[in-house]
Structure 1
Amino acid sequence: MTKYLVVGTGLFGAVFAHEAAKRGHEVTLIDKRDHIAGNIYTKEIDGIQVHQYGAHIFHTSDKEVWEYVQQFAEFNRYTNSPVANYKGHMYNLPFNMNTFAQMWGVRTPQEAMDKINEQRAE
């Protein structure tokens, strides 16, 4: 059996400690805060999940990673779809063909590239 001292219980420290303990190793955790999870710490206040250090979004396309994190917490379905307000008009971010069609009326990637090159030249 190996003895580990884990300093910092954010994502890496907490996962490492969990996996090491599952394998029978002795793990001691220390953190300057009075909780685990680092900046993704969430606490419940009056039935509401409060992200104490600011909102956080966990996303992955890796099925194994998704299944792993699901054992620790229930995640809400969320799709990040940011927009920009420019001169009173709303545009999709990151820029895509829909954005270029809204801004310039172009319909093809080549038309969008031509418009971008035109603006660069200016």
Structure 2
Amino acid sequence: MNYLIVGAGLFGAAFAREAAKRGHEVTVIEKRDHVAGNIYTKEIDGIQVHQYGAHIFHTSNKEVWEYVQQFAEFNRYTNSPVANYKGKMYNLPFNMNTFTQMWGVRTPQEAMDKI
């Protein structure tokens, strides 16, 4: 079977590779001068620069994690956003602990009433 893949982002590149490994004829068309789509990273003066903005890859699927590890080295990262509300810092996403810190409420209903 022959495949025409339009775009060499995550899905297109992975599909093309796996199809080719299984003996299929694959043609990939990509408008950019690089593969990896919006997660493309280039090195400038020894620094990895995210060409299209920061990207985070996460999965709880061990098989997926092992698959992607063969193509790139990943840094350990935990996304920990915070919000500044009236000069105090609060962890996000909002939860009952956040609402208790902000407003002194103790139950979801009290938070709903405040909101």
TM-score tier after normalising by the smaller chain length: 0.7 to 0.9
Q: What is the CA-CA distance between 1:98 and the residue it aligns to?
A: 2.3
The aligned length equals 114
* Aligned residue in 1 for 2:74: 75
Q: What is the CA-CA distance between 1:45 and the residue it aligns to?
A: 1.4
| TM-score, normalised relative to structure 2 | 0.88
Q: What is the CA-CA distance between 1:114 and the residue it aligns to?
A: 5.5
Q: Distance in 2 between matches of 1:30 and 1:114?
A: 54
Q: What is the CA-CA distance between 1:70 and the residue it aligns to?
A: 0.8
Q: What is the CA-CA distance between 1:105 and the residue it aligns to?
A: 2.4
1:42-77 Cα distance to aligned partner (Å, 9 max, x none): 111122111000000111111111111111111101
Q: What is the CA-CA distance between 1:100 and the residue it aligns to?
A: 1.4
Q: Distance in 2 between matches of 1:76 and 1:43?
A: 16
Which consecutive unaligned segments of at least 5 residues does structure 1 have?
Answer: 117-122
1:14-50 Cα distance to aligned partner (Å, 9 max, x none): 0110100111112111111010011010111122111
The answer on whether the counterparts of 1:92 and 1:98 sit within 8 Å (CA) in structure 2 is no
More deviation, 97-106/9-18:
97-106
Secondary structure at the aligned position of 1:58 is classed as coil
Q: What is the CA-CA distance between 1:7 and the residue it aligns to?
A: 1.1
Which consecutive unaligned segments of at least 5 residues does structure 2 have?
Answer: none
Identity of aligned residues (%): 90
Q: What is the CA-CA distance between 1:109 and the residue it aligns to?
A: 4.7
Secondary structure at the aligned position of 2:23 is classed as coil
Cα RMSD over matched residues?
A: 1.6
More deviation, 97-106/42-51:
97-106
| TM-score, normalised relative to structure 1 | 0.83
Structure number with larger C-alpha Rg:
1
